Amino acid sequence: MIVEMDCLFCKIIAGEIPSKKVYEDELVYAFEDIDPQAPVHFLVIPKQHIAGAGAVTAENSAVVAHIFEVIARIAQEKNLTGGYRVITNQGQDAGQTVNHLHFHVMAGRPMTWPAG
Ligand code: AMP
Ligand code: ZN
């Protein structure tokens, strides 16, 4: 498992920084966003350190499919029947602030489009 010593989300996975867990298995961790932008706002991340969407490769992409399976399952459990939005920000222009791949899942209010 690749872990980055200075990565905030690697520290959250290791339990060194507290978080409100939504879901966990051997490959992924999901937790409440500390600054929610919707009534429901959690993040789903791979346990392996991947810097962002731009660092997904043929070697590590299986976890991305798994993340989307997990998102669908959590959405059913949370009864998000009104819909939800899944976002990943890659790089400066998109507003990425943590360089560990993460998918925002937001729900509980109507969303505008295009985002931002
Ligand atoms: P992004 O700006 O797309 O890189 O998203 C990073 C997200 O991480 C933001 O929505 C932050 O609110 C969230 N965040 C930052 N620090 C923490 C933390 N300690 N616990 C939970 N979420 C966090
Ligand atoms: Zn990391």
Q: Which residue has the tokens 């920084």?
A: 17
What is the whole-number distance in angstroms between the Cα of residue 81 and the centre of ligand 2? 31
Atom of ligand 1 nearest to the CA of 31: 21
The answer to pTM > 0.75 is: yes
Is residue 102 flagged as an active site residue? yes
pLDDT mean for each 10 residues of the chain (116 residues): 87 97 98 98 98 98 98 98 98 97 98 88
**Per-residue pLDDT, 3:** 76
As a whole number of angstroms, the distance between CA 77 and CA 87 comes to 20
CA of 61 to the centre of ligand 1 (A): 22
Nearest bound ligand to the CA of residue 11: 2
